[in-house]
Amino acid sequence: MIDSPRSAEVGRGPAAVALPLETPALTLYQFELCPYCHKVRAGLEAKGLAFTKVEVNPMSKRELPPLSAGTPRKVPVLAIDGVVVQDSTAILDFLDQRFPEGLRFLPTDPAKLARTREIEAWVDDDLIQVLPTVIYGKWGEAFKAAQVTARTSNFGLLQNLMVRGGGSLIMHQVAKRIVKRRGGRDPRQMLEAELDKFESWLGDQPFVCGEEATLGDVAAQGAFTCVKEFPAWQLVVARPRIAAWYARVQVIRETNRRIA
């Protein structure tokens, strides 16, 4: 149920959406360089939902709210009105049901629904698996990634130093394991292969399912945002169709973005 039938325009132009004037407080627990978290942030902004961001220490995870027994202590986690939702896909589905006035992630057309679900699954199962290898696959990139994480947090001095030092080691080891699991291929080649796949889905359409943005666009654009501060970003924007699509989704996010 929506808290209030009254609504207000969020942003201007064709991408603007109407939402209740009063919406419940949303808190996103996240890591700055987590692609799954960027998926959720893209969804929240595209929906025009104001939220508070809490950066979670990737080592201690002490900032996380109480979670159900037996559930993994992983981000992203969304808290709203005493309800805690985990997993990026579950969060985006929850947002689409709870706030139908915003951009609808799931189209009613069965073929488009199947396509957007397929692309969102590809984001989780393939694209996001490759991104860490180009974000912190090399020592210099791993160190920069740890710096970004520490810089964007509100950790104390000791925690900050631990993230900058130990975080780079953990990130680099994660990237190495992914490369090994995927046959030892060069990370840039792996990303290029995923970009080929996405470009074939996109074709000449403005969005992956046609004229309107859907879950697949939000998920992919959010994930790609993770590499903007790294050299691999040039591989993304070197493709004109993908670059133009990314910019279109970004306009929706910026037009509808609300500050908590």
Instruction: Supply the pLDDT for residue 214.
Output: 97
Please give the angle made by the CA atoms of 97, 40 and 60, to the nearest 5 degrees.
Answer: 125
From CA 117, how far away is CA 66, in angstroms rounded? 30
- Give me the amino acid identity at 196: D
Based on the fold, state whether residues 224 and 162 are members of the same structural domain. yes
Domain of residue 187, CATH code: 1.20.1050.10
Domain C-terminal end among 63, 98, 133: 98
All residue ranges of the chain with pLDDT < 50 are 1-14, 16-21, 137, 139, 157, 161, 165
Q: List residues bridging with 7 in a β-sheet.
A: 20
Based on the fold, state whether residues 130 and 216 are members of the same structural domain. yes
Is 1 domain-assigned?
no
Domain C-terminal end among 29, 63, 98: 98
Is 103 domain-assigned?
no
Tell if the pTM clears 0.85, that is, is over it.
Answer: no
Is 182 domain-assigned?
yes
Is 89 domain-assigned?
yes
Instruction: Supply the pLDDT for residue 21.
Output: 46
- Give me the amino acid identity at 170: I
Phi-psi region of 11 (alpha: psi -120 to 50; beta: other; left: phi over 0): left
Based on the fold, state whether residues 70 and 140 are members of the same structural domain. no
Instruction: Supply the pLDDT for residue 34.
Output: 87
Based on the fold, state whether residues 73 and 44 are members of the same structural domain. yes
Q: How many domains does the chain have?
A: 2
Instruction: Supply the pLDDT for residue 174.
Output: 60
Based on the fold, state whether residues 134 and 72 are members of the same structural domain. no
Structural domain for 150, as ranges: 110-256
Based on the fold, state whether residues 229 and 149 are members of the same structural domain. yes
From CA 142, how far away is CA 153, in angstroms rounded? 17
Based on the fold, state whether residues 83 and 128 are members of the same structural domain. no
Is 205 domain-assigned?
yes
Based on the fold, state whether residues 217 and 88 are members of the same structural domain. no
Domain C-terminal end among 98, 129, 149: 98
